[in-house]
Amino acid sequence: MKIVYFGTDVFLPCFRHLAEREEVLALYTYHNDEDYFTEHQIVRAARERGIPVMYGRIPEDRVRRYFEEEGCDLFFSAEYGYIIPVPAGLASFRGINVHSSLLPEGRGYYPIECAMERGLERTGVTMHKIVSETDAGDVLFQEPIAIAPEMDSVDVYLESSRRALEMTKRLTADFEGAWNAARPQERLGERWAKPGEGERTVGHGMTIAEALATHRRFNLMTLVWLGGRLHRIVSIESGRAALPEPEIEIAPGRFLYGTADGHLRLTVLPGKEGK
């Protein structure tokens, strides 16, 4: 098959599997330094194989050219930051998306973080057809994932990647069979919005447990105000001793940060656009 792949490092094993067995015409990706996983590894893997790399949104006319002029058989999307347009009347269009929830629950761009924010004990991975309405296509495969108390969001992403690779192997083993056996979603679930800044920000009034729970859910999306500027928390440890002042800079990017019942030992990066 001729495939155009859309995604980042989150589902890198899926890209490698397809690139080894099929003809990948191009990789479309994007950069988001809020995410723990970026696009660095997948871009390197594509360039090593001579696969063209495109950043940003694909326009509708380019979608048409892939299918009408370049013999593309399939769009495969896995953690792509833009909606892929489905041109009206393009009968040859076929697309598949890998989504990190058990659709129809968990529609939206941050389903793992949102599931953990809601205190859910289970999420999963869904491989579904791409249609004009986001996360609404027929389901090819689904696998549940338990969210254990000791897991953070990166753990869940890694487990999602493992399950998605198995689905991709099943897909390539019998594409037509999997495509034709896809079942419609019974309904459309609630769209989960990206958690806001307030939900992702650690504060002095929090307990250590509350701060650690916030970072467990959001990892590199977790924020903290230091010296009047917003920073992203890279890593976090805790201590029980009270601090003589609310925050102490130990070295560039390293802080002690007072909480309601002790302190945090933070490694941070400046927030997006230095906010």
Query: Hunting for tokens 């792949």 — which residue is that?
Result: 5
Instruction: Locate 151 and state its tokens.
Output: 């897991």
Rounded to whole angstroms, how far apart are CA atoms 245 and 184? Answer: 57
Instruction: Judge whether 256 and 250 are in contact, CB under 8 Å.
Output: yes
82: alpha, beta or left, given left = phi > 0 and alpha = psi -120 to 50? beta
Within 13 Å, how many C-alpha atoms sit on residue 155's CB side? 13
- Residues constituting the chain: 275
pLDDT confidence of residue 189: 85
> What is the per-residue pLDDT across 10-35, written as a single tens digit (0 to 9) for each?
999 999 999 999 999 999 999 988 88
- What is the average per-residue pLDDT within 225-238? 95
> What is the per-residue pLDDT across 233-266, written as a single tens digit (0 to 9) for each?
999 999 999 999 999 999 999 999 999 999 999 9
Q: Sign of torsion, CA 168 122 224 199?
A: positive
Q: pTM to 2 decimals?
A: 0.93
